[in-house]
Structure formats: structure tokens, C-alpha cells
């Protein structure tokens, strides 16, 4: 099936869901005077894993941060174009970025648990958003989030210990538990496994496979095997543009563009 409009993937993955959740159109972004994103068109589908790949500095993280307006924290940033979610432009003045971030959670490259107990790391945000208030409900929610993040069995006896006392891989899963505890629609992951060993990486990849049943995941990775394993769709970024957006299988077996092929096969540095 061929693309009918910009932003759609070139080939459809028949096994994937195709309910649109975020529609990005003609997105430009400047850091001060230098433009980092050029006319990005991208459709993101609910309950899919979409991987963003591309050489260092091509704008993957920048694009990811546009989806939950974390770029607002950088004073020099200027954005043009539309990022539509639930029929609304997230950059619209009427959209509250705090509300947006409750629906679009984020997991960072370096695990960054709060300097609080494991329990409070997970319980903090749901309490803050008034999702739960009674103690037993909070307990249930913490347990559920930690189970979903595949961490429950390892930490159930030490919930009062500081989150920072865990290993790197455990900390990253704690951060995932923290993100899913507020039941977001979308989870953004910026190279979530780049600081982890192969076993923790495999654990988190399995996790993404399960989590996409409940959430929509957009992940950045430099690991081609990882993209091939976990993603339904893959977008190849280069110099601030989306060069190719394709069904992951097609992207890795039969890329449509030369640049994507070179990058995937390692001919491009």
C-alpha cells in the first residue's frame, strides 16, 4: 500500500493498529537562529511502538520533546507547524502543557528517579494529579505500575528504600513505572536503554512489547536491532528531516530511500 498523504508511513504494517493518536504536520523548530527541524510530517498510531532512528544530532530528541512540549523549558526554542492530539494543537495557547504532560509521559536516556523512596517515586504523580488519594488505592496503583514495569518482584520487599539505591536497569524500569502510573496515552522514550547492559535492555524491550497493549510508545534508539525487534513503524531522521517513515519490516528489509539503506546497513556513520 502506498502513501496517500505526507506523514503516513510508506508501507502499512497489517498487524499494527491504525488509529491515529498524534498527527504532526509541517513542524519547524529553531534553537535561536539555527533550525533543528524542517517540515516534519508524521502520523503516530495508537498502541504501536514507533522508533525514531538517525545519526546523532539529526533532531530525534528535539522532535520527541515537541510531543510533550518539554522544549518549552529551553528559552531559545521557537516552534511552527502543528502537533495535533485529540483534534487539538498541543502548541495552541489554550493547551495547558502540564495537562499535556499528564497524557504524554516521558522516560529519559539516563535513569532519573526522584530522590525519594521507590514507593513515593511511583505514588507521587498519581497523588499529585488526584487520581487516587486513599492509602489502599495508592498501594494498589503502585503495585500495578511496578508489575506493569516488570519490577514488582524485585522491589516488593524494599518499597521504602530510596529509588536511587537500585541498579541502573532497575532504576530505568522504576522510571517507566513512574511514567505509566498516571495512565498516560503516550509514553516517549529517549534512548531508554543506552545506559544499560544487554540483559536490562532485553527486559525493557520485552516490556515495550507488553506496554504497547495499553499505551502508545514513541522511542528513540541508536540500536538498529532494537528498532527492528520492538517497533511497528520506524522513522529515519536526517538533518532535521524525516527521510523515510515506513513499516519496520519493510524499512529493514527493503528501504525505499538510499540514505535510510546506507544508515541501516552501517554505511553511514
Ligand X SMILES: Nc1ncnc2c1ncn2[C@@H]1O[C@H](COP(=O)(O)OP(=O)(O)OP(=O)(O)O)[C@@H](O)[C@H]1O
Q: How far is the CB of 240 from ligand X (least distance, A)?
A: 7
Q: Distance from CA of residue 178 to its chain's centroid?
A: 14
CA 204 → CA 3, 47, 93, 198, 239, distances in Å? 32, 17, 36, 10, 29
Q: Report d(CA 182, CA 104) in Å as an integer.
A: 10
Nearest distance from C-beta of residue 247 to another protein, angstroms: 29
**Residues 46 to 85 in contact with another protein, rule: CB under 8 A:** 68, 70, 73, 75
Report how far residue 20's alpha carbon sits from residue 7's, in angstroms, rounded to the nearest whole number. 11
All three cell numbers of 185: 496515552
- Could you say which of 128, 137, 147, 206 contacts another protein (CB under 8 A)? 128
268 vs 188: CA distance, rounded Å: 26
62 lies in the site for ligand X, by CB under 6 A: yes
> Hey, what's the cell of 77?
526554542
Residues 6+ apart with CB under 8 A from 147: none
Angle, helices 135-148 vs 168-180, to 10°: value is 120
The residue within the footprint of Mg ion, chosen from 11, 13, 61, 193 (CB under 5 A), is 61
Quick note: the x/- pattern for another protein over 166-185, rule CB under 8 A, is: ---------x--xx--x---
Among 11, 61, 68, 203, binds ligand X (CB under 6 A): 61
Comparing CA positions, the residue from 124, 116, 203 lying closest to residue 159 is 116
Residue span 228-267 as binding mask against Mg ion, x where in contact by CB under 5 A, dash where not: ----------------------------------------
- Rank residues 97 and 143 by Cβ distance to another protein and give the closer one: 97
Binding footprint of ligand X on the chain (CB under 6 A): 31, 36, 54, 56-62, 74
Residues at the interface with another protein (CB under 8 A): 68, 70, 73, 75, 98-99, 101-102, 105-106, 108, 110, 112-115, 124-125, 128-129, 162, 164, 175, 178-179, 182
Amino acid at each position: 500500500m502506498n502513501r496517500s498523504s505526507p506523514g503516513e508511513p510508506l508501507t502499512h504494517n497489517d498487524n499494527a493498529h491504525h488509529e491515529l493518536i498524534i498527527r504532526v504536520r509541517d513542524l519547524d523548530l529553531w534553537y535561536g537562529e539555527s533550525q533543528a527541524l524542517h517540515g516534519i510530517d508524521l502520523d503516530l498510531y495508537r498502541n504501536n511502538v514507533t522508533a525514531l532512528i538517525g545519526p546523532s544530532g539529526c533532531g530525534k530528541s528535539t522532535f520527541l520533546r515537541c510531543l510533550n512540549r518539554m522544549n518549552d523549558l529551553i528559552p531559545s526554542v521557537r516552534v511552527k507547524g502543528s502537533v495535533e492530539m485529540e483534534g487539538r494543537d498541543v502548541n495552541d495557547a489554550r493547551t495547558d502543557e502540564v495537562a499535556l504532560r499528564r497524557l504524554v509521559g516521558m522516560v529519559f536516556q539516563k535513569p532519573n528517579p526522584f530522590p525519594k523512596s521507590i514507593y513515593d517515586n511511583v505514588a507521587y504523580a498519581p497523588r499529585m494529579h488526584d487520581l487516587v488519594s486513599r492509602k489502599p488505592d495508592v498501594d494498589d496503583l503502585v503495585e500495578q505500575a511496578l508489575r506493569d514495569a516488570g519490577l514488582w518482584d524485585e522491589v516488593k520487599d524494599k518499597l521504602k528504600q530510596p529509588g536511587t539505591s537500585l541498579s541502573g536497569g532497575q532504576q530505568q524500569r522504576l522510571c517507566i513505572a513512574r511514567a505509566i502510573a498516571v495512565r498516560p496515552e503516550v509514553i516517549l522514550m529517549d534512548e531508554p536503554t543506552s545506559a544499560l547492559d544487554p540483559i536490562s535492555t532485553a527486559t525493557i524491550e520485552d516490556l515495550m512489547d507488553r506496554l504497547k497493549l495499553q499505551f502508545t510508545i514513541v522511542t528513540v534508539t541508536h540500536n538498529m536491532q532494537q528498532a527492528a525487534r520492538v517497533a511497528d513503524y520506524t522513522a529515519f531522521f536526517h538533518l532535521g528531516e524525516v527521510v523515510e517513515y515506513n513499516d519496520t519490516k519493510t524499512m529493514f528489509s527493503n528501504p525505499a530511500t538510499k540514505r535510510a539503506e546506507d544508515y541501516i546497513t552501517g554505511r553511514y556513520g
